[in-house]
Structure 1
Amino acid sequence: MQGSTGAGLDPCGVLQTIVTLPADGRVEIVFLLGEAENEAEARQMIAHYRTVDLDTVLDEIKQQWNRICGSIQVKTPDRSMDIMLNGWLLYQTLSSRVRARAGFYQASGAYGFRDQLQDGMALAASCPALVREHLVRAASRQFVEGDVQHWWLPQTGAGVRTHISDDCTWLGYTVAHYVTTTGDIAVLDENIGFREAPPLPITEHDNFMVPAHSAESATLFEHCARALDRSLAVGVHGLPLMGTGDWNDGMNRVGEQGRGESVWLGWFLYTTLEIFIPIARARNEDMRADKWQQHTRKLARALEHTWDGDWYLRAYFDDGTPLGSHTMPECQIDAISQSWSVLSGAAMPERANHAMRSAIHRLVRQQDGLILVLTPPFDKAMPDPGYIRGYPPGIRENGGQYTHAALWTVMAIAVLGDGNLTQTLFHMLNPITHSQTPEQAARYKLEPYVIAADVYSEAPHVGRGGWSWYTGSAGWMQRVGTETILGVRIHADKLLIDPCIPQHWPEFEVTLQWKTARYSILVKNPDHVCRGVRKISIDGVQTYMMHEVNMQDDGLLHKVEVILGS
């Protein structure tokens, strides 16, 4: 009804005008939608855009998006993969996740500490300045004790201090990725202030407030190091403390008393320490590096004790009850403990392989096109894991497809070298695959060009998409497609090429913009293998570096040919 607003309604704004066209007539209608700090500023913007050449403005916007989304273009035998990797995923990551920080029915505007750090990893090559800026912004939300605001509002700085355990590790992980990709080691010396607030008692899950600016400041490296040092505390099993959630915020009661432990965080912390130790040694931080190295050895041993027979546990509750065990009626297996056992490189190889086989058997439902995050879903069993049980079984993190976790499953299969299964799983996650017929589209109910945060897995909503646009899965899907499957990565001034593709792919192409130069990469697969680079040549000259090409910022087009084979 016109003029109606309120709870449960879906209001919209409407502009209407009448245009009468003569025969063969033509009219151009322009309307301006924007925002400003106040009325005077809004009027100034309106006056400005009434006088400028709007076609020029539109062209500038198109060129900006073409530079970002066109920074990498691919051509593979999988047309649906090409469509997503050639701009849509980068557009979703930047427009919804980084700039708007909102999506349909997901009003937010806040920065999530771990969230936009992860998004930036997909943008490090195409928008390095923007990513650098956010690394500094995120580090500025760290308390002097090393923990951080889990999320905050940029206008006021108000946000929550929590006991969520993985935020601190993400800072070092993402900073290391940015430095490796761009070669910008100077960012580690950026001087950044800390925040101050009363410590959060273990009896409180969170505290929403505006923290004060501390007089203390330190380099970005020190911010990362302090966060990692904060992550070294362990429980009785020698594993990182779970707190009120790790990657899965919904498991907020597993370690709420300060004794529960996270197996997944053990794998992830191991990974981050291993990639940050060389950075520390390069800065002559040997005492810290030695301490971290000793901790990784202890972690690796402790993590092997979480083997449950066919897969690794997910966590331990405060009282020592295992989570993610075959002995429990709910959440017998959780995907991310298995995938990161592989991605970390810390697990015994035979166990990591076995764990992923178990994950594929228990969590992949090919008939429905789903890769579940855990099974069976939580419902009534005790101990209570937290608000994840507030979702009906099969919805979101509670046993649905949580695409973020599903992409880590795809990454792990690629690390194990099975390009056939890797591509099958990636294709299952592609939203185009869920919308190829009217029946599929009616079931999925989301945009076919936008990755969804989650897809439901239980009747009567099997295959229905949940949240779209505002999901960190977009950035991870871009990285899995380009870096993991097509195997194209940038390390400072080096181009690394190490694909993991289906055996039946005869070839694929990647065109990459790097600074002023453009690299056209043709990968041929004459022996029908999944993995293994036999020969690389650049501009007709063979290089004898395995998987690697030195790049030049010379404004030229360079042609790279890669031959796969044993």
Structure 2
Amino acid sequence: MQYGHFDEKNKEYLITKPNTPAPWANYLGSPEYGAIISGNAGGYSFVKSGANGRHLRYHFNSNDEPGRYIYVKDLENGDYWSGSWQPVGKDLDQYQSVCHHGTGYTNIVSDYDNIHTESLYYVPLNKTYEVWRMKVRNDGTTARKLALFGFAELTNNNNYEQDTVNLQYTLFISRTYYKNNKILQVINENIPEEQTWRFFGAAGAEVAGYDGDRDTFLGEYRSYGNPASVANGECSNSLNYNTNACGALQINVELQPGEEKEVAFLLGQYDEQGASEILSHYKDLSVVEEELEELKAFWHSKLNRFQVQTPSDNLNNMINTWNAYQCFITFIWSRAASFQYSGLRNGLGYRDTVQDIQGIIHLDHEMALERLRLMISAQVSNGGGLPLVKFDHNPGHEGTPDDPEYVRETGHPHYRADDALWLFPTVIKYLNESGNWDFTNEVVPYSDKGEDTVYGHLRQALQFSLDRMGAHGMPVGLHADWNDCLRLGAKGESLFVAFQLYMGFKIFMEIAQNKNKPEDVAWAQGLLDELDGNIQKYAWEKDQFVRGFTEDNYTIGSWENEEGKIWMNPQSWAVLSGAARPEQARVSMDKVYENLRTDYGTMLFYPPFRKYGLPVALMALFNASTKENGGIFSQPQGWLILAETMIGNGDRAFEYFLNCSPASMNDKAEVRKLEPYVHGQFVESKDSPYQGRAHVHWLTGTASTVMVSLVEGIMGVQPQKDGLRLNPCVPSDWTEFSMVREFRGKKLNIRVENNNGVQKGVSRIVINGEEIQGDLIPVTQLAAENDVLVVMG
């Protein structure tokens, strides 16, 4: 069943049936102020941290409530509804709703009983509060008297756990006041240095009534769908004291036929003076449209740096808007706050964030650089990475996973084998995109002590693995090696990390060569040759690479095994790293296709673990075909697509994309459940009775890996030190497609002809009327704007 559709022109997804199989969400705000909202206005908000800055409540794993509700009450006939379909939930035969999820805003348009409303939600650019603007219009033939009720359920403590669990404390430290069109909430009023202020105010009309006490507004034994104050047609002017707080403001409006009025509700963590200044800014509500356009311009200017027009609307919508926007959201919030992540991770995962950076480098390399510096400063002086980089990270003064204080603060007592090795593909992407190779000379502190150049940090990342090699001459798995459920330990070895290290050596050699350091090139080459020999000797089995070796020398991912016989990642990463010989790449990738592919994506491995489990195969705790236990884990789908493009299989790469693309499930939303415009963490596979059902939306490294595979793999746009390589790998039935790409301040309008129906291979490139040799356009040949013809064949 289809519940909505893409609007590529406006870069929106329109939910046309509000009874979606799960809450379909959007993100508003910035790292300073975060907000998540569903198509029915459910969701929550926080300042900086979902764990320690929460001020709107949300009930996880429940009915998508509460949220940012605006109720409408007919004061004459007694009927009432909400600007979003929920929470009142009127009969959909009579109530019509279209939710426009856009880039940084959501606008819910509804019609009921000849009343048209538009409820716009957004966080103004570079601000730390949110705006709910409702337009209400009388489409009937008689005058109407209405009451509008804006409602926000406020937390009684900024700390999410304290607010929801420690009720013997948090209920008794909060109270509300009403002053000048706004509810003011203060927490810890009697301790000035501990005070927290919030406000919920109205602009554009005078408040006719208010409630600051949630229980009074809702009434006894009532719900968000039938709150007492709305049902009664008036607020009680209540204020909380030793109870739950809320902000509820009533505004009465009279509308002649055809007349439209608008009001705005504003929410943020400000005291009375700050709140009054914000409300005064909205005396003239025309500022809302100005801020909305500013918000669109900000995001669209980033997304427009790379746009495509291909025969596939599915791919166009994902590259041009939704995969790109999801990359920015995961970049900003890592795994901190969604409808599954409740906000308790008070920081950035190291490996998550370094990978997330890759997804936005081609769209905003300056924003990427700021975060990349942060992550390099979270590298420990021994070369490893901090598992969690706190929001208040203090380089040079942090503990390490060996340090009890760090462990107490973060709950992360172990090093992971893969963390710092992610720096190599991310740093080289930044260097090639920006041309700023001097960045390798920049001095950045380590997290615990000392400092080094970026180049030195990279060498130390290699050394971390070299200091921790196992019996087969490959890196040990430590606490994890990307797959958190595979615990190979201090002696067991990981092929995944071996391929990462292989890639790291190659990238380090490229950088060392650029810096004219032949001794470092020779050092890395010798180690690379040794690693290569060990991989070929111990890790290749007939037609596949194994996954790793346990401390007692059991082979994970052997064709002789009963469970976990073949794994996707070793095969794709053998290709990505360059370790696979051409014939190995062909036969191992064929085996993945034959044994792991499904219509909903490719399984991480198969068969799932049922017998072989702890302490190594922690994934055996999960049901079969779920998460890491033979499920369709989504992040590796991007690596698989990219690997197929590297060996020239455009048809297969595109098939893999269609299998895993959320947009492919737009007309099967009842199967997928999650939003059809963003990737989830995993999809249930063939041993599940619910094959195709997706889980854990938005905040997943899938956004980055798939974006890179589409941009650099299928579309073939590959920045290099001296220019831009164009080498697409596409389905053989694509005869023509086009791209717009900004690169180092230059604009390229690229048209690709593929009249011979090849999957990969460029026969000639013409730029501004001049043919060039090869597939690399030198940066010196780029004008401010360029017309480029690429002929495949």
Q: Taking structure 1 as the reference length, what is the TM-score of the superposition?
A: 0.89
**Deviation string, structure 1 residues 417-449 (Cα, Å, up to 9, x no partner):** 11111111111111111222xxx2111101111
Find out whether 1:361 has 2:594 as its counterpart. Answer: yes
Deviation of the 1:516 alpha carbon:
4.1
Q: Are the equivalent residues in 2 in contact too, given 1:259–1:318 (CA < 8 A)?
A: yes
> Structure 1, unaligned stretches of length 5 or more?
197-213
Find out whether 1:84 has 2:138 as its counterpart. Answer: no
Give the SS at the match of 2:262.
coil
Q: Specify the alignment match of 2:741 in structure 1.
A: 512
The structure-2 alpha-carbon separation of the partners of 1:487 and 1:554, relative to structure 1 and needing over 3 Å to count, comes to: closer
**C-alpha RMSD of matched pairs (Å):** 2.4
Q: Specify the alignment match of 1:31 in structure 2.
A: 265
Q: Specify the alignment match of 2:463 in structure 1.
A: 229
Report 1:321-470 matches (<5 A): 321-365=554-598, 368-382=599-613, 384-436=615-667, 440-457=668-685, 458-470=687-699
Q: Select between 13-22 and 177-186 the one with higher mean Cα deviation.
A: 13-22
- Quick one: distance in 2 between partners of 1:523 and 1:135? 33
Give the SS at the match of 1:248.
coil
Find out whether 1:154 has 2:391 as its counterpart. Answer: yes
Q: Are the equivalent residues in 1 in contact too, given 2:488–2:549 (CA < 8 A)?
A: yes
Give the SS at the match of 2:789.
strand
Q: Are the equivalent residues in 1 in contact too, given 2:597–2:603 (CA < 8 A)?
A: yes
Q: Specify the alignment match of 1:66 in structure 2.
A: 300
**Deviation string, structure 1 residues 65-120 (Cα, Å, up to 9, x no partner):** 01111111111111111111112111111124324643222124521111111111
Find out whether 1:238 has 2:469 as its counterpart. Answer: no
Q: Are the equivalent residues in 2 in contact too, given 1:246–1:265 (CA < 8 A)?
A: yes
Q: Are the equivalent residues in 2 in contact too, given 1:396–1:454 (CA < 8 A)?
A: yes
- Quick one: distance in 2 between partners of 1:554 and 1:294? 38
- Quick one: distance in 2 between partners of 1:34 and 1:448? 31
Q: Are the equivalent residues in 1 in contact too, given 2:503–2:577 (CA < 8 A)?
A: yes
Find out whether 1:302 has 2:530 as its counterpart. Answer: no
Give the SS at the match of 2:387.
strand
Find out whether 1:141 has 2:349 as its counterpart. Answer: no
Find out whether 1:500 has 2:733 as its counterpart. Answer: no
Give the SS at the match of 2:748.
strand
- Quick one: distance in 2 between partners of 1:324 and 1:553? 48
**Deviation string, structure 1 residues 378-424 (Cα, Å, up to 9, x no partner):** 22225642432222111112111111112211221211111111111
The structure-2 alpha-carbon separation of the partners of 1:384 and 1:330, relative to structure 1 and needing over 3 Å to count, comes to: farther
**Count of matched residue pairs:** 535
Deviation of the 1:48 alpha carbon:
4.6
Amino acid at match of 2:427: V
Deviation of the 1:248 alpha carbon:
0.6
Find out whether 1:20 has 2:254 as its counterpart. Answer: yes
Amino acid at match of 2:616: P
The structure-2 alpha-carbon separation of the partners of 1:446 and 1:281, relative to structure 1 and needing over 3 Å to count, comes to: same
Q: Specify the alignment match of 1:476 in structure 2.
A: 705
Deviation of the 1:539 alpha carbon:
1.5
Q: Select between 482-491 and 159-168 the one with higher mean Cα deviation.
A: 159-168
Q: Are the equivalent residues in 2 in contact too, given 1:97–1:471 (CA < 8 A)?
A: no
Deviation of the 1:280 alpha carbon:
2.1
- Quick one: distance in 2 between partners of 1:154 and 1:448? 31
Q: Are the equivalent residues in 1 in contact too, given 2:634–2:681 (CA < 8 A)?
A: yes
- Quick one: distance in 2 between partners of 1:375 and 1:286? 44
The structure-2 alpha-carbon separation of the partners of 1:55 and 1:493, relative to structure 1 and needing over 3 Å to count, comes to: farther
- Quick one: distance in 2 between partners of 1:154 and 1:266? 31
Amino acid at match of 2:684: Y
Deviation of the 1:172 alpha carbon:
2.7
Q: Select between 371-380 and 53-62 the one with higher mean Cα deviation.
A: 53-62
Q: Are the equivalent residues in 1 in contact too, given 2:648–2:729 (CA < 8 A)?
A: yes
Q: Of 245, 251, 254, which residue of structure 1 is paired with 2:488?
A: 254
Find out whether 1:129 has 2:363 as its counterpart. Answer: no
Q: Of 502, 514, 522, which residue of structure 2 is paired with 1:282?
A: 514
**Deviation string, structure 1 residues 8-64 (Cα, Å, up to 9, x no partner):** 65541334425432111011232334456x776566545555578332222211111
The structure-2 alpha-carbon separation of the partners of 1:7 and 1:56, relative to structure 1 and needing over 3 Å to count, comes to: closer
- Quick one: distance in 1 between partners of 2:365 and 2:513? 25
- Quick one: distance in 2 between partners of 1:40 and 1:553? 56
Amino acid at match of 2:595: R
The structure-2 alpha-carbon separation of the partners of 1:555 and 1:360, relative to structure 1 and needing over 3 Å to count, comes to: same
Give the SS at the match of 2:491.
coil
Give the SS at the match of 1:453.
strand
Higher share of residues assigned helix: 1
Q: Specify the alignment match of 2:79 in structure 1.
A: none
Report 1:520-559 matches (<5 A): 520-544=749-773, 546-551=774-779, 556-559=784-787
Q: Select between 473-482 and 187-196 the one with higher mean Cα deviation.
A: 187-196
More contact order relative to length (CA 8 Å, sep ≥ 6): 1
Greater Rg by CA: 2
> Structure 2, unaligned stretches of length 5 or more?
1-55, 72-147, 149-251, 395-408
The structure-2 alpha-carbon separation of the partners of 1:225 and 1:48, relative to structure 1 and needing over 3 Å to count, comes to: farther
Q: Are the equivalent residues in 1 in contact too, given 2:624–2:688 (CA < 8 A)?
A: no
Deviation of the 1:195 alpha carbon:
2.8
- Quick one: distance in 2 between partners of 1:8 and 1:443? 19
- Quick one: distance in 2 between partners of 1:102 and 1:334? 30
Deviation of the 1:5 alpha carbon:
7.9
Matched residues, percent identical?
A: 28
- Quick one: distance in 1 between partners of 2:629 and 2:348? 24
The structure-2 alpha-carbon separation of the partners of 1:554 and 1:234, relative to structure 1 and needing over 3 Å to count, comes to: closer
Q: Are the equivalent residues in 2 in contact too, given 1:113–1:138 (CA < 8 A)?
A: yes
Amino acid at match of 1:476: T
Q: Select between 553-562 and 227-236 the one with higher mean Cα deviation.
A: 553-562
Deviation of the 1:508 alpha carbon:
0.7
Find out whether 1:561 has 2:784 as its counterpart. Answer: no
- Quick one: distance in 1 between partners of 2:380 and 2:677? 39
- Quick one: distance in 1 between partners of 2:613 and 2:681? 27
- Quick one: distance in 1 between partners of 2:603 and 2:492? 24
Give the SS at the match of 1:32.
strand
Amino acid at match of 1:521: I
Give the SS at the match of 2:503.
helix
The structure-2 alpha-carbon separation of the partners of 1:7 and 1:443, relative to structure 1 and needing over 3 Å to count, comes to: closer
Give the SS at the match of 1:358.
helix
Q: Select between 65-74 and 169-178 the one with higher mean Cα deviation.
A: 169-178
Q: Taking structure 2 as the reference length, what is the TM-score of the superposition?
A: 0.64
**Deviation string, structure 1 residues 288-341 (Cα, Å, up to 9, x no partner):** 432221111011111112112221110111111000012222111110000111
**Deviation string, structure 1 residues 514-546 (Cα, Å, up to 9, x no partner):** 3543211010011111111111101122112x1
Give the SS at the match of 1:446.
coil
The structure-2 alpha-carbon separation of the partners of 1:321 and 1:193, relative to structure 1 and needing over 3 Å to count, comes to: same
Give the SS at the match of 1:31.
strand
**Deviation string, structure 1 residues 220-249 (Cα, Å, up to 9, x no partner):** 221221111111231111111111110111
Q: Of 390, 413, 421, which residue of structure 2 is paired with 1:169?
A: 421
Q: Are the equivalent residues in 2 in contact too, given 1:172–1:228 (CA < 8 A)?
A: no
- Quick one: distance in 1 between partners of 2:728 and 2:414? 40
The structure-2 alpha-carbon separation of the partners of 1:339 and 1:416, relative to structure 1 and needing over 3 Å to count, comes to: same
The structure-2 alpha-carbon separation of the partners of 1:48 and 1:155, relative to structure 1 and needing over 3 Å to count, comes to: farther
